[in-house]
Structure 1
Amino acid sequence: MKATTDRMLTRIKGIYMYILENGVVTTENLAKEFDITHRTVQRDLNVLEYNELITSPVRGKWTTTTKKVKVPT
């Protein structure tokens, strides 16, 4: 796997775990926490949303779904 792909997957896993631990978070929270642009946050959130792992109950806020997932360590 390419280093960039591995870095992206690690970041997306981190974002998912952050949302899981914190309940409802904003896009702004994620951009600051992971020191990435809002656009990068949005792309990563799109991946998680496409896989039904997160949902946006209110525009700009995100929370996890009840979908069961095994998170590799």
Structure 2
Amino acid sequence: MANGEYTRTLTISSLERLKLSVNGNPRFRVTFTDGTVAQTQTDSSVGYSIENPEYRNVPVVVSFTRAGRIFGVEVAK
């Protein structure tokens, strides 16, 4: 990935909804079963999809920015 972006395969343990962004988009603090905690990228579409049930209790490939913010998630194959 470009610019220091990276992916990890993790399992979501819990989601905590944070205040909306300045632009009114949802943000979350995501805790994974290995203890990793990260926030969704501000104003990223992942804020709308991270709550989807297909991402719960299964391994997911999580895309992180260089700063460690989540900007993508998909079910691991």
In the superposition, the TM-score normalised over structure 2's length comes to: 0.29
Compute the TM-score of the two structures, normalised by the length of structure 1.
Answer: 0.30
Q: Which is richer in strand?
A: 2
Higher helix share: 1
